[in-house]
Structures are given as structure tokens and as C-alpha cells.
Structure 1
């Protein structure tokens, strides 16, 4: 009993010492609401759901820094994703599936190692009027390549007069190949006053279980916003290319978005129109309209609602889950949601 008590005391002392030397912030999001989804199937396919993370993914995170002297700091982030409607882990059951990285920060910028966002993801979020949530989520049409990548090395520059950038490389970790499974991304941005402009690029090589290349895909996207104080305009354009291992083109499309954010009372009206133009024979074009409203109850808590509808050509496949996620070719799915989000 005395040995157990002593061990517990020592562990507690070490834990307190670690926290005392490192500044750790605990943060998170709790988001839940009602969603009504209609897949436009021949039979009644309307579903009523209590869904987690409609505006922002529910999460619990730990962010820390330690001053190493000389302007150098150690940094880390561990971020868990979960479903508040059933308590299950998100991102396929990973403990820290949203983010898990450690690195160094200094006058040179920051270098981070671990599971991180692909650079194209924060680029999309910074210009999306729906901030990658609700019915107008840009990833319903634009490619974000899974948003995150394992085994990633990311370098972010310091800001220079409104300019910033980052470059990322994700190792495929396939024996005998340095290219199979690897991903690479780039983000260049300018944010000053009312202007925000981003240019992002992502390239990936897919890999089979045996390590052979099974194809490649890349996207380049240019977007921006202009803030008029009472309203903000949003716009983006992307070009997507991809091919199978045999060299046959299977992705050849362009995406565009026009959006608006306008203040209304204690909240904002948000709206967007997106279009996917498919240049491959047999792949139809798609259009998505969305409108929503967020109402701030406090600095940390808000209510939200949104509605979106997709209009697919007879062979179009855009749905509310990303490109190629419609329940069937040519169907026109719609979604409505209402809920509450609390950030802490």
C-alpha cells in the first residue's frame, strides 16, 4: 500500500513538473444538431438524424509550447475528434485523429512532424463562407485529399508584411519506393486589411497494399475574399487532374465558387454557389447552392441553420459528402440542418 502510494505521488510530481515547464492549453468544440437529408432516390430516402459536428467537427485538443531560449520554442498539438451524438471516436477510431504533431518554432518559422492538415485544407477554410461546415462546405465540390495526412513534415514561414506560406511532404513509407503513397502540398497566402488571397497546390501518389503505384492526382486552387465590413465576398477556382497507374485519365475537372457573408443582427447570413465542370466523357457537371445563418448567443456559443441542394447532370455524382458521393448518377440531393455549437 505504501509502495503504491509512493509511486502515485512520484507520477503526480513528475506530471506537475512537466505541466509547470510547458504552457498547455486545453480547447475543444461541442457541436450537435438535427439534420434532414434527402438523397433524391426513387423511393423515399429522407433521413432525420441527430448529427455531431455539422458546423465544426466536435473535438478535444491539447496545445503546448515550451520556451527553449534564444527565440526558439518547442510546440505540439494533440487533437481528438469525436461524435457527440454517440460518444464514438472520429477519424476511423484514432485517439488523436484530427491532429498529432510536435515541432520547433522560431524566427525562421515553424517545422512540424506528424499527422497534420494538407496545406490545401486551411486554404479552403480561409475562403469558404461556410468555413468547411454546414450545407455549403466547399469540400462537397472541391478536392481536399482527405484534409489530413500521416507521416508529414511541414514547414511554415513567418509572416512578411501580410505574406505567408507553408510546404508539406508526407512520406509514403512503402518499402523499395520513395514515391508510392507520398503526398506533397504548398500554400502561399497574402492577408492584409480587407484582402485575403491564397494559392494552394496538392499532389499525391496512391499506393496499393503491395506498394505499387495505383495512380496520381493533383489540384491547384486560387481563391480569395474581400471584406467590405458589412459584407464579405468569396471566390475560388481550382483545376484537378488525375490518372490511373495505366496512364488513363480518370480525373479532369475544374471547380468554382462564389460566396457571400453579410452581417444580420447578432449573426451572419452565409451563401454560396459552386460548380464542378467535368471534362471527361461520361462524367456530368454539377451545381450546388447553399444558404445559412449563424446567430451568436455569446462569444463562444452560437446557433446555426443551413440548407443546400445539388443539381447534377444525368451523369453527375456530387453529393453532401464530397465529389462522387451522390446516391446515384443524376440525382439531386438536398440537406437541411439546425443546431448549436460551443467552443471552449
Structure 2
């Protein structure tokens, strides 16, 4: 009897030890709702849409303790469309994230693979769309990537440990091309937290984004612009006091020799050539937690655009207003309602940029105004 019991106890102890040293977690989000758009090429559109407040996804993440405060980490995350079961991010199996790396309590984390850039990591969380509201609340054409329109491939990322309230990091994404800078990316950013105040800043540079299929930004998969260069910098702050949170963010996105937008297609002037676009986004947002189960949030974004062509500079102006209410049915399931209005004014460019388009709408408006309303159910597991 003892000969049988002792080996069994030893095996149980070894299994317990192994479980304590490593773990793998399966998780996901399912976000599905009904959208109404008042003007898509002059018509009303009613549709079911997946993944707006959060992209629908499932993933695996894990750690293994290597001793001495060092751990191996990995994450594989798949985006999908709940309506038809198709893969997201241009049909990539793990298009949201796919990386492996090492993390140390003392020295920080280094990861390798397809990942988020520093704008998404540090600046996005002080915007409404990058924090609690999601897709519909994006800045025009998500020109600054605060809503994570694109991830970056072939990426080495460093994330520091916390130093008091300070954390910082950066990414470098290889072009994987004989032209070293052809579709590469690099970024840096940081946040400082003290009490209820969060300060954030980030910078991103992408050379020839979406120019190649194997580079930093995937062409035809997830992109905000196909261009010669994309440069984004910005800063923001949020402050939480009691049940309320208010935030402000400024971003400046420069697009050199843009060819097209991943949202609205070709950007071709009626005459002359387009040399560059610059989007300056000024956002204020706020959220109030009325009860532990219910909050209401709002945002306003003013966007000034510099449209630089051989014919001179023009300045389209975009104004976007959003309102959202969210109610928890349980710890994992909630229902939410969102509405966004956009108005386009200022100079007319003779391109698709002259008409309103809210990211997430079925298509561009026939004029300078557009409204999208969404009612949705979200479940997390």
C-alpha cells in the first residue's frame, strides 16, 4: 500500500509545483450590436455589427517562472467578426497580437512579434476611443492610431517597470525588406500617474506604411493610410475625482504623399497633386459613474486638417460629438448605447475628405453631416 501511495503523493506535489510556476489563460470579448446610420451616400442604413466598444476577440496568454525574478511571457490574440465568423485584421489568424518575450520585475519587459505601438499603449488610454468608448469615438480616419487601426509587425518592444508613478517604453519594427527603411516603424511613449492624475505622451514614425505585405504595417490588412510616411505625436491627461473622470488629448498626425485611406479609399484631388495631410485633433472627454453598474460618458473632438497640394493649402474642419451609456447586467455582461455626430466644414478639397465619415459607419455621407447610433450587448470571458 505504501509503495503505491508515496509515488502518487510525489507526483501530486510535482504537478502542484509546476502549476505554481507557469500558467495559461484563455480569454475573450464578444461585442455585438445594432447600428443605424442616417446617411450613407444619401441613404439610411440598418445593420448588425461586431466589435465596436471593444473588438470581438479570443486569446491565449501565459507566463512561466524562470527564477530570479525572470519570467517568460506570451500572448496570441485573434480578432473576428461575430456576424459571419470571419477573421479580423485582414484575415490574420492572430491579427490583434502575437508575441513572446521575457519580463523582469527589476528591468522591465522585452517582447518580440506583432504588437501595439507606443501611441496605443500610452496615449490612447487618455482618449475616449482608446479607453471606454471604442471605434465610433475615433478621431477622423483614426489618423493618430489611438483606436488601434493598425498593429505593428516584426516588432521589438521594451516596457519599463514602474518607477514611482512613471512608466515608459518603445518599439522598433523591422521592414523585413532589402530596403531597410521601407515600411519600418518606431515609437516611444510614457505615462506618469500621481493620485487621480494621469499624464501621457507618445511619438510614432512609420516609413512607407503599407508599402509592402511583409513590413511593419500590413498592406490591405489594417492601415489608416497608404503613404510615403506617417508621423504622429501627442500628449494628454486625465483626472479622476470621486465618481467622475475628465480627460484632454492633443494629437498631431502628418501624412506625406498619401495615396489612400484604409477607411474611405483613394484621396485624389480634382486637379494638381497632394503632397501631404496634417490632422490636429483636440479632444475633451468625461465619464461619470452614477452607480457601480452604470456610467455615462461624452466626448468632443475638433480636428483641423492641412491639405497641402500643388494648388496651395486648404483647411477642412471636422467636429465630432459622442455620447455613451453603459449598464452592467453582471460582472461579465453589459449593454450599451452610443451615438456620434460628425460635421465637416471649412475649405473644400474636391476629394472624399469633404464629406462626413464616422469610423465604423457603413460608408461615407453624401454631405457634410453624419450620425451613427448603436445599441449593443457585450460579454467577456
Give the TM bin, normalised by the shorter chain.
0.7 to 0.9
State the 4+ residue runs in structure 1 displaced beyond 6 angstroms: none
Change (3 A) 1:296 1:287: same
What is the CA distance between 1:200 and its match in structure 2?
Answer: 0.7
Contact 1:121–1:147, Cα closer than 8 Å, also in 2? no
Across the two proteins, how many residue pairs are aligned to each other? 324
Residue-by-residue CA offset, 1:74-105 (whole Å, 9 max, x unaligned): 00000011111221111111111100000000
What is the alpha-carbon distance in structure 2 between the residues aligned to residue 312 and residue 100 of structure 1? 38
Change (3 A) 1:171 1:60: same
Change (3 A) 1:235 1:329: farther
Q: Match for residue 122 of structure 1?
A: 121
Q: Match for residue 245 of structure 2?
A: 232
What is the CA distance between 1:146 and its match in structure 2?
Answer: 3.4
What is the CA distance between 1:309 and its match in structure 2?
Answer: 0.6
Q: Match for residue 137 of structure 2?
A: 136
What stretches of structure 2 of length at least 5 have no aligned partner? 1-14, 215-225, 259-272, 308-312, 349-353
Q: Match for residue 205 of structure 2?
A: 203
Aligned partner of residue 245 in structure 2, secondary structure: strand
Change (3 A) 1:329 1:85: closer
User: Which of 222, 244, 247 matches 2:257?
Assistant: 244
Asked if 1:275 corresponds to 2:302, the answer is yes
Pairwise CA RMSD of aligned residues?
2.9
What is the CA distance between 1:174 and its match in structure 2?
Answer: 1.4
Contact 1:80–1:98, Cα closer than 8 Å, also in 2? yes
Q: Match for residue 298 of structure 1?
A: 330
What is the alpha-carbon distance in structure 2 between the residues aligned to residue 65 and residue 210 of structure 1? 31
Change (3 A) 1:224 1:318: farther
Change (3 A) 1:214 1:264: closer
Q: How does 1:123-202 map to 2 (within 5 A)?
A: 123-130=122-129, 131=131, 133=134, 135-138=136-139, 140-144=141-145, 146-175=149-178, 177-202=179-204
What is the alpha-carbon distance in structure 1 between the residues aligned to residue 306 and residue 76 of structure 2? 41
What stretches of structure 1 of length at least 5 have no aligned partner? 1-15
What is the alpha-carbon distance in structure 1 between the residues aligned to residue 203 and residue 366 of structure 2? 29
What is the alpha-carbon distance in structure 2 between the residues aligned to residue 59 and residue 179 of structure 1? 32
Asked if 1:333 corresponds to 2:370, the answer is yes
Aligned partner of residue 93 in structure 1, secondary structure: coil
TM-score (norm 1): 0.86
Q: How does 1:23-62 map to 2 (within 5 A)?
A: 23-39=23-39, 41=41, 43=42, 45-62=43-60
Change (3 A) 1:317 1:159: farther
Asked if 1:69 corresponds to 2:72, the answer is no
Change (3 A) 1:95 1:40: closer
Q: Match for residue 253 of structure 1?
A: 279
What is the alpha-carbon distance in structure 1 between the residues aligned to residue 154 and residue 101 of structure 2? 13
Contact 1:123–1:198, Cα closer than 8 Å, also in 2? yes
What is the alpha-carbon distance in structure 2 between the residues aligned to residue 241 and residue 55 of structure 1? 27
What is the alpha-carbon distance in structure 2 between the residues aligned to residue 268 and residue 134 of structure 1? 18
Which is worse superposed, 159-168 or 186-195? 186-195
Contact 1:80–1:97, Cα closer than 8 Å, also in 2? yes
